Amino acid sequence: MNEHSIFMRRCMELAEIARQRGDSPVGSVLVLDGQIIAEGIEGGKTHRDITYHAEIEAIRQATEKLSSQDLSACTMYTTHEPCIMCSYVIRHTRISSVVMAITTGDIGGSSSAYPLLKDITIKKWGPPPELIELTS
């Protein structure tokens, strides 16, 4: 089993928790030096807060744990392509790689008309993250 499979399996477990409580089935983890340092479970409906996306929750946890908003040494794994909102947070924290299982089209941070994950014009963010789309 490759490294991507191990971390994506954990994302799927987190997504199942979200699904069981009535949220969109999205789970996300942040990995640093081969170890999961933060996890996020989709919770917009549960918490009645649109910003409670799995990716943002993982980022919140990681920045608290590391006492830094610089996550450039981290890789994010997520069951779904990060949305435009999550993509902004990913770019702001300079996450170096994003591994995703499903693209989301119209609202996606790389596949929509607003591909923030790929943008090279906002110099403050630095280079875009490496994007890895896993196929079944």
pTM for the predicted model, two decimal places? 0.95
Domains of the chain in sequence order: 3-133 (3.40.140.10)
CA distance 21 to 8: 20
Q: For the segment 34-65, what is each residue's pLDDT rounded down to a tens digit?
A: 999 999 999 999 999 999 999 999 999 999 99
Find the catalytic residue in 55, 57, 64, 81: 55
Q: Can 130 be counted among the known catalytic residues? A: no
Number of H helices, E strands in the chain: 4, 5
Sheet holding 130-133, edge to edge: 35-41, 27-32, 74-80, 97-102, 130-133
Residues in CB range of 39: below 8 A, 6 or more apart? 10, 14, 27, 28, 29, 30, 57, 58, 61
pLDDT < 70: residue spans in the chain: 1, 136
Q: Considering the chain, what is the average pLDDT of its residues?
A: 95
